[in-house]
């Protein structure tokens, strides 16, 4: 997030696109609701009538994968009607004319054709966002999990810059990060192209710095992403994998392919708290401590680094992941001693010394409360709002992007679009939440949401079992008929391994961000006779 969670209370308007905030980020969702009740305007763009849509001034039900057209359409109207922040555009940005030239053709009528949203709603949304200041944009995986996810984020940034909503309280471009420490895992270099602190592995100066810190030459070749690793395992290029705290055999796209890939590995290590679906394929399984059983830090969606404190002992012989990693690395290293850490705090001290954004962060400081990075020195209070007065690159650059349709469009054989997501009561592959009895009571099984207009001709009644098939696989799920969803679209979550929706999804990747397109898969639905 460019801004802070607390900041959202100051927004005069929200554009929430591709985020079912009250279910996925409930505390932020409640904050939005409070702000709306106090008078803030709310525009929701989502193919489903999510809870927030019920209290929105405008609900734009776009077709999955048409977000760029919508965002360009909003920019088009705002420019045409002269509602943009001319001073901000002149003083703090570049590339306006190029962007303007591209969005010129995205008239409300043209956008209505691509998105299925009435032209007058597009105009009303544009006026609402442009005339309520500050306005915050919130988005999540509904935006990024498309083959065009990276370009859509650019389109969001264009809209925010156009209206001068960056570097201001209550504004911003605010991606809501999905997992407790997905922000931190990225910050710490758990990515194939960057060292900790987003320092490029291909940059010789940065690499030399890391080589000095770690005392060894390092590879300059960016590595493979998750889905690329699965492909490499499938083709036999990748021979061994060490997987910590992940369950790709439920969470990754195109599961039949993933299973085949993992089976082809010569050696697979799983480090987890449960015997997951993926663990069943492992050669060695290492029992890890859960969050309450170890010390460390998580970084949240607003870049706040916070302490995780040990409260109980791990069960049996399970150990904190940091101890397991150190023990393995010590065996691999020539200098075993370099992997002996006496505490999690000592690891943070080492990481902070080479991660500019974390330079001023230590466990000791965090005892008094979390700190938002960038925090460049021990006396720096942290940063609540990014891009205040100046963008990190100097001028904010408008990036003109064209609408890109999903890789797999519905056709005669697979006439519906499946979009996947999450629900409040469960979490990811369910290895944690399925072991909480009350959560299973509240949401015992997967339900496929389908509009009555689509269900009727298929003879599907509420509660029927349906077979959902894509070009890659099939699953059966119970049917929930609801007009909350756009006709032509069906919705499922990936929380239930027994209804593994990722058997259906496509491993089509965004060319830059390498995110799979979970949000648009062409499927065919038929009734299962009982």
Partner 1 sequence: MTTLTINGKTIEAPGGTILEVSQANGIRIPTLCNHPALAPKGACRLCLVEVKGSRVLQPACTFPISEGMEVQTESPKVRAARKFVLELLLSDHPKDCMTCEMCGNCELQDLIYEYGVKETPFVGDHHEYPLDDRDPFILRDMEKCIHCRRCIRACDEIQAVNAITMINRGFRSKVATSFDTRLQDSNCVFCGQCISVCPTGALTEKDSHGQGRVWQTTKVTTTCPYCGVGCNFDLNIRDGKVVKVTSNWNNPVNKGALCVKGRFGWQFLHSPDRLTIPLMKSSLWKEHKGTEGAPSRYEGFVEADWETALDAVAKGLLTAKSEDGPDAVGILASAKCTNEENYLIQKLARREIGTNNIDHCARL
Nearer to partner 1, 106 or 195 (CB): 195
User: Closest approach of Cβ 428 to partner 1, in Å?
Assistant: 8
The continuous run of DSSP H or E covering 136 comes out as strand 135-139
User: Closest approach of Cβ 275 to partner 1, in Å?
Assistant: 6
Task: Enter the tokens of residue 74.
Answer: 């909003």
Nearer to partner 1, 3 or 299 (CB): 299
User: Closest approach of Cβ 31 to partner 1, in Å?
Assistant: 9
184-192: long-range pairs with CB below 8 Å, 24+: 184/297, 184/298, 184/299, 184/305, 187/299, 187/355, 187/357, 187/358, 187/373, 188/351, 188/355, 192/222, 192/223, 192/224, 192/225
Nearer to partner 1, 77 or 475 (CB): 475
Sequence-distant (≥ 6) Cβ neighbours of residue 448 within 8 angstroms? 466, 468, 477, 478, 479, 480, 490, 491, 492, 525
Give the C-alpha separation, 79 to 104, whole Å: 9
Could you tell me the maximum CA-CA distance found in the chain, to the nearest angstrom? 68
Nearer to partner 1, 102 or 194 (CB): 194
Nearer to partner 1, 102 or 229 (CB): 229
Nearer to partner 1, 75 or 273 (CB): 273
User: Closest approach of Cβ 147 to partner 1, in Å?
Assistant: 12
- Residue 435 neighbours by CB distance under 10 Å: 11
Q: Do you find a cis peptide bond into 374, omega within 30 degrees of 0? A: yes
User: Closest approach of Cβ 166 to partner 1, in Å?
Assistant: 21
User: Closest approach of Cβ 30 to partner 1, in Å?
Assistant: 5
Nearer to partner 1, 134 or 248 (CB): 248
**In sequence order, what DSSP letters do the residues of 363-408 get, joined into one string?**
HHHHTT--EESP--STT----SSTTSSSBTTBSEEP--------SS
Asked whether the beta carbons of 521 and 504 are under 8 A apart, the reply is yes
Q: Which residue has the tokens 């000791």?
A: 364
User: Closest approach of Cβ 412 to partner 1, in Å?
Assistant: 31
Q: Do you find a cis peptide bond into 134, omega within 30 degrees of 0? A: yes
């Amino acid at each position: 997030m460019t801004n802070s969670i607390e900041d959202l209370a100051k927004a005069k308007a929200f554009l929430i696109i591709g985020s079912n905030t009250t279910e996925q980020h409930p505390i932020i969702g409640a904050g939005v609701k409070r702000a709306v009740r106090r008078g803030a305007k709310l525009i929701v763009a989502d193919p489903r009538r999510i809870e927030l849509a019920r209290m929105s001034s405008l609900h734009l039900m776009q077709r999955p994968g048409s977000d760029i057209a919508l965002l360009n359409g909003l920019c088009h109207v705002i420019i045409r009607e002269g509602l943009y922040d001319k001073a901000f555009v002149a003083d703090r940005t570049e590339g306006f004319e190029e962007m303007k030239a591209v969005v010129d053709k995205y008239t409300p009528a043209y956008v209505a054709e691509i998105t299925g949203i009435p032209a007058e709603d597009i105009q009303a949304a544009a006026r609402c966002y442009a005339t309520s200041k500050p306005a915050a944009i919130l988005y999540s995986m509904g935006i990024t999990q498309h083959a065009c996810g990276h370009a859509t984020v650019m389109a969001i940034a264009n809209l925010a810059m156009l209206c001068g909503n960056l570097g201001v309280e209550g504004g911003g471009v605010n991606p809501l990060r999905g997992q407790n420490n997905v922000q931190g895992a990225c910050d710490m270099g758990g990515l194939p192209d960057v060292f900790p602190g987003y320092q490029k592995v291909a940059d010789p100066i940065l690499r030399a710095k890391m080589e000095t810190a770690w005392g060894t030459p390092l590879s300059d070749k960016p590595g493979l992403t998750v889905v690329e690793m699965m492909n490499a395992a499938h083709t036999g290029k990748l021979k061994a994998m060490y997987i910590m705290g992940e369950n790709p055999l439920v969470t990754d796209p195109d599961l039949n392919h993933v299973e085949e890939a993992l089976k082809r590995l010569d050696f697979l290590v799983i480090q987890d708290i449960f015997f997951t679906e993926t663990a069943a394929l492992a050669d060695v399984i290492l029992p890890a401590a859960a969050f309450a059983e170890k010390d460390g830090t998580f970084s949240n969606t607003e870049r706040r680094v916070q302490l995780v404190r040990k409260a109980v002992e791990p069960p049996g012989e399970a150990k904190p992941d940091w101890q397991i990693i150190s023990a393995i690395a010590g065996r691999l290293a020539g200098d075993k001693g370099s992997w002996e850490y006496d505490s999690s705090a000592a690891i943070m001290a080492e990481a902070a010394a080479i991660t500019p954004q974390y330079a001023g962060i230590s466990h000791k400081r965090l005892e008094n409360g979390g700190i938002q990075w960038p925090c460049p020195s021990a006396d720096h209070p942290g940063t609540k709002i990014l891009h205040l007065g100046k963008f990190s690159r100097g001028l904010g650059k408008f990036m003109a992007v064209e609408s890109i349709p999903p890789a797999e469009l519905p056709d005669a054989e697979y006439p519906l679009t499946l979009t996947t997501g999450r629900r409040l009561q469960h979490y990811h592959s369910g290895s944690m939440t399925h072991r909480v009895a009350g959560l299973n009571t509240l949401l015992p099984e997967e339900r496929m949401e389908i509009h009555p207009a689509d269900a009727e001709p298929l003879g599907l009644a509420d509660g029927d079992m349906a077979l959902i098939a894509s070009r890659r696989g099939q699953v059966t799920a119970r049917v929930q008929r609801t007009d909350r969803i756009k006709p032509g679209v069906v919705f499922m979550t990936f929380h239930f391994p027994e209804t593994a929706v990722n058997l259906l999804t496509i491993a089509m990747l965004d060319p830059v961000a390498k995110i799979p397109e979970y949000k648009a898969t062409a499927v065919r639905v038929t009734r299962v006779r009982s």
